[in-house]
Amino acid sequence: MLGYGFMGEAHANAFARLPMFVDDAPAVERDVLIGRDEAALAEAADRLGFARTATDWREVVDEVDAFYNLGPNDVHPEPTITALEAGTPVLCEKPLAPTLSAAERMATAAADAGVPTGVGFNYRYVPAIQYAKELIEAGELGEIRQFRGRYLQDWLVDPDAPASWRTDAERAGSGALGDLGAHTVDLARFLVGEIERVSGQTTTFVDERPAADGTGTEPVTVDDAYGAQVRFDNGAAGTLEASRVAPGRKNDHTIEVEGTEGAVRFSLERLNELEVLGSENRGFETVLVTETDDPFLDHWWPPGHVLGWEHTFVHENDAFLSAVADGTSYSPGFADGLAVQRVLDAIQASDERGEWVAVGQ
């Protein structure tokens, strides 16, 4: 596993939970943790349960059964491609790469390798999202007409919040668009279908922030917020939005899908619930998605004993590592990551051109 910060902790926690709660989960050995700072790396390996450490990913990516790339976006392409060329399955955090061209190289390497690949779109593994997918596929909503996706956070509201790799275009590729919008685009594709064309804009409100090391300032070269109108291949219309400067919004990822016969609404801040339009069309009913026959819930607690954000990583890792163990395919894979990247790229192009842009052109 490359990286031991926020995402490293989430995945390491999932590795530890798997044998406790999933009877048929593959056995996992946390072998090698990769990083640059030897002292911090040793502490993290001990805390996260890894047997050894390495400061050069080149030395270990061909020695393991699966490689997790959880580094900053600019670190996604080369270690991942090298691992795939060695025949090692890879799970890479989102977005797949900082640029479309890099994502294309990664997807090509994955196709050539023929091994399982995964992208960290863990929100597909929220039980309520899976339940919404079941309702849509069963035709309960009728013909899908509209999709709305909004992802709002507030951690950059303060102009004195320090710069980081996430505010640097060379390392991140984009700001709220890739960091948050990638999740929304993936759920739009998962629930509704492929996006055909977009009309988008990106905005940077704070052009300069204090440097992370406390010396001077650094320019902000990514967006703080984006918005887009989209048209799906199936004719449905949609709107997408994300911001990292929305006061009071901690992690508000809201999804709405409307059809000719019904609608559903979901908020990540209430992730055990799905709002479903009642049969008499008199407003939404809140469904608590915690029954044992709901998606993934057979592994967990009695009904009403809610799950949290960290459980999505348990579900994700069970599916991915099972695919590795069995030699089967996994979704969302690198082809999905590339499809999302094409939409993100089209939104950026639309902002630059001031016009609708077809995805992939």
Domains of the chain: 6-122 (3.40.50.720), 126-353 (3.30.360.10)
Separation between Cα atoms, residue 214 and residue 206, nearest integer Å = 18
- Give the mean pLDDT of 339-349: 98
Examine residue 219 and say whether the peptide bond preceding it is cis (omega within 30 degrees of 0): no
* Predicted pLDDT at 264: 98
According to DSSP, the residues that pair with 148 across neighbouring strands are 239, 256
pLDDT surpasses 90 at 332: yes
Where are the extended beta strands (E) located within the chain?
A: 32-34, 52-54, 67-69, 90-92, 117-119, 144-152, 195-203, 208-210, 217-219, 225-232, 237-243, 252-259, 263-267, 273-277, 284-288, 357-358
Q: Cα 121 vs. chain centroid, distance in angstroms?
A: 3
Average of per-residue pLDDT values in the chain: 97
Residue 57's alpha-carbon distances to 45, 82, 206, 256, 299, in angstroms, are 15, 9, 35, 41, 34
- Give the mean pLDDT of 162-187: 97
pLDDT surpasses 90 at 157: yes
Residue 172's alpha-carbon distances to 9, 164, 180, 184, 189, in angstroms, are 20, 10, 12, 17, 23
Tokens representing residue 192 in the block? 């509704």
Percent of the chain with pLDDT over 70: 100
281 confidence band (pLDDT: 50, 70, 90): confident
